[in-house]
Amino acid sequence: MSLDARTLANAVRMLSVDAVQQANSGHPGAPMGMADIAEVLWRHHLKHNPADPQWINRDRFVLSNGHGSMLLYSLLHLTGYDLPLSELKQFRQLHSKTPGHPEYGYAPGVETTTGPLGQGIANAVGMALAEKTLAAQFNKPNHNIVDHYTYTFMGDGCLMEGISHEVCSLAGTLGLGKLIAFWDDNGISIDGHVDGWFTDDTPTRFRAYGWQVLDSVDGHNPQEIEMAIQEAKANTSQPTLICCKTIIGYGSPNKSGSHDCHGAPLGKDEVAHVREFLNWPHAPFEIPQDIYQAWNAREQGAHQQASWQQHFSAYRAEYPELAAELLRRSHGQLPVDWAEQAQDYINDLQANPANIASRQASQKALNAYAKILPELLGGSADLAPSNLTRHTSALDVSAEVPQGNYLHYGVREFGMSAIMNGVALHGGFIPYGGTFLMFMEYARNAVRMAALMKQRSIFVYTHDSIGLGEDGPTHQPVEQLASLRVTPNMETWRPCDQVESAVAWKEAIERQNGPSALIFSRQALTQQPRTPQQLSDIERGGYILKDCDGTPELIILATGSEVGLAVNAANTLNAEGKKVRVVSLPCTERFDKQPAEYKEQVLPKSVRARLAIEASIADYWQRYTGLDGDVIGMTSFGESAPAEQLFKLFGFSDENVLAKARALLA
C-alpha cells in the first residue's frame, strides 16, 4: 500500500468510524470530512511532543466542533500519545479516556473541553492571547522562548453561536496573528443542509473583523491545504481563517454529504461500503505498522523540544531571573513570599477599618496583589468604572502593546469568560474578568465550563443585589447567587467588608483546582471587628463573627451587605438578655467542605432557631435554617427605586430582622 496523504488520512477516518460504530453512538461525519486537513496540519506543521504533553512551547490544537471527538482521539493515538487502542475501543464508555466530547484532564493532549459549540474557538482565542502577551513579556532579542501557534477546527455550528462573533471580533482587534482557524465548510448540521438557516457571508464577516481570510480551499486536497497553512503562518499580524470546502462523511458512498452521518453511526453495512470505497482492507481498529510509523510524532517532537530546551538554557544563562519567573508562572506556582505578603495586607486592613463598598475593597485588594503577582491578567466587559477591576499597576493590552496585563473586553460577557478559560488553560497567567452579577447569565455556560475543567478563572461580579436600586429588576440579581453556589466545583464568595473581600481574593488566587466567583456590593459596608482567630477562620467560608455567652438561643446567618443587619439585631437582642450568635458565611461551598466538628461548632444542631438574611433567592438558605428556622430573602424580582426604599420594601431592615428574630426566640 502506498503511504500517500490520503491513505494516512484514511487511518483517521477508519479509527473514527470503527469507534463510533462499536459504541453505537457518536458523530462520524466530521472526522471523515476533516481527516485530510488534520493529516496535513498534524504531520507537517503541529509542534508538539507526545511524550511531554505539557511542554510549555507546544502548539495548541483545539477541536471546537467537539462532537467530532474521534478525530482528535485518533490523531492523539496515531501520533504517539499515551492513548492506547483499548481506549479508542472504549469510546463513550464509563471511565474511559475517550468521552463523547473531548474533556480536559482525561486523555493527554486534549487542551480543553469542547462540546458546547463556539466555546472552543473562544478558548483558542484565549490561548493565542496568552501566547502573544507572554511572549511580549518574556522574549528578548534573539530569544523567542515563547513562540507557538494556536490552531482550531470549527464547524458551521460554532459560527452560528453568538460567542464566535464576540471572540473573533476581539481577536482581530488584538491582532492575534498566531491564531489559525480552519472552518469545516460542509454545509450540514443536525437538521440538514444549512442553506435554509445559515446563509452568512462568512469570509466577508471575518475580513470585517480584521482577519486574514483564505477562502475556497479544497479540504480534501493536501496541496491546497499545505499552501493555505503556509500563507496563514506567514502573516503574524492578523489571525487567519482558512475556509475549507469539505464533504461531511467523506468516504461513505451512501451517506456522505448528508446529515445522516452527522450524529449517528453509519451502520454495519455502510461501514463495509466505506472500507471498500477507501480501499481499506483492514479489520476494525487494525492499523498497519508502516502507517503507525508514518504518523508517530515522538521522535520529531522530542527533537523539537530538545532544540527549544537548548535555546531556553542559553536564555536562562543571559536572563536568569526572567527564566525562573517564566517557569514559575507556567507551572502555576505563586511567589514564595505570596502568602506572607497577602496575610500582612489582610492584617493591616483589619487594623485600619474602612466602611466602603466591597467593590472598592476588591479594587484595593487588586492594587495590593497585582504588585506581587505579575501573572494577573484581568479585564472587564465594558464596566471597569463600575466593576473597579482596573488596578494601579494596570497596563492595557492592545495589538500594539501586547505586554500589558489589562483587557478591555467590550460588551462581551460570554466571550470574556470563555477567553479567560483559554488563558487559564494555556498557563502563565491567572485570569480574572468583571461584569454585573446579573449579566453572569450571558456567560453562564463558560462559567460552568471553568468549573467542569477545574480551571483557575476568577469571575468578578459587582452590583450584587437589589441594592443597585434605580436601574431596576433588569439589573438586580435574585437567583444568580444560588445558581453559582449549586454549580459543582465552583466557589462563590460574597464578603461583608473590606477584610473578607481581601480574603476572598486571596483564596481565589490560591485555588488551583477550580474557578471562583467574587460577589461585590455597590453600596458601602460597615467593617466588622474580629479577633485574630476570627480573622483566620474567614478562609473556612463560614465562622462565628459575633458570639454570646453560653449556648445561643438563636443563630443569625448572613452574607455581604446583610451581615450588618445581623450584627445590629444581635446587639439589640443580647442587650435584652437574649443569647444570639451571628455567623458570617462568605463562601457556603467552602464552609460545607469543613470537618463536621467545625461545622457543629459554628452551627450546633441543638440550636434550631436560625434566621438567614440575604438579598438573594430565599429558598437556598433553607438548607441551613431547616424547617424550624426562617429566611429573609427574595421571592420575586426587584423593583426600580432607590436602594433604601427597596431594602425596606423587601424586608431588609433592622425592624423586620428584629421582628423575625423575636418570633423565632418566642
Binding residues for substrate: 27, 262, 359, 386, 463, 471, 475, 522
Closest by CA to 87, choosing from 449, 300, 78, 290, is 78
Reduced to 3 states, what is the DSSP secondary structure of residue 602? helix
Q: Torsions phi, psi of 433, nearest 5?
A: -155, 145
8 A C-beta contact, residue 611 and residue 657: yes
Q: Torsions phi, psi of 643, nearest 5?
A: -55, -40
Distance from C-alpha of 646 to C-alpha of 644, rounded to nearest angstrom: 5
8 A C-beta contact, residue 70 and residue 20: yes
- Looking up cell 472587564 gives 380
Q: What are the distances in angstroms from CA 194 to CA 188, 241, 530? A: 5, 20, 62
DSSP state string for 190-231: TTEEGGGT----HHHHHHHHT-EEEEEEETT-HHHHHHHHHH
Distance from C-alpha of 263 to C-alpha of 8, rounded to nearest angstrom: 24
Element (H, E) at 181: strand 179-185
413 is catalytic: yes
The DSSP output letter for 140 is B
Distance from C-alpha of 494 to C-alpha of 484, rounded to nearest angstrom: 11
- Give me 173's grid cell: 482587534
8 A C-beta contact, residue 611 and residue 629: yes
Reduced to 3 states, what is the DSSP secondary structure of residue 308? helix
8 A C-beta contact, residue 267 and residue 22: no
Annotated binding site for Mg(2+): which residue ranges? 156, 186, 188
- Give me 507's grid cell: 483564596
The DSSP output letter for 637 is -
Q: What are the distances in angstroms from CA 424 to CA 96, 197, 394, 420? A: 25, 35, 19, 6
Label each residue of 498-528 as H, E or C: HHHHHHHHHHHHHCCCCCEEEECCCCECCCC
Per DSSP, the chain holds a count of helices (H) and strands (E) of: 27, 18
Name beta bridge partners: 324: none
Distance from C-alpha of 647 to C-alpha of 652, rounded to nearest angstrom: 5
Q: Of how many residues is the chain composed?
A: 666
In our burial notation (b when 16+ CB lie closer than 10 A, e otherwise), range 458-472 reads bbbbbbbbbbbbeee
Annotated binding site for thiamine diphosphate: which residue ranges? 67, 115-117, 157, 186, 262, 439
8 A C-beta contact, residue 624 and residue 568: no
Q: Which of 103, 224, 413, 589 is catalytic?
A: 413
The DSSP output letter for 243 is E
In our burial notation (b when 16+ CB lie closer than 10 A, e otherwise), range 512-543 reads eebbbbbbbbbbbbebbebeeebbebbbbbbb
Closest by CA to 499, choosing from 474, 521, 528, 470, is 528
Give me Rg for the CA atoms of the chain. 28
Annotated binding site: which residue ranges? 27, 67, 115-117, 156-157, 186, 188, 262, 359, 386, 439, 463, 471, 475, 522
Closest by CA to 461, choosing from 537, 394, 528, 516, is 516
Active site (catalytic) residues: 413
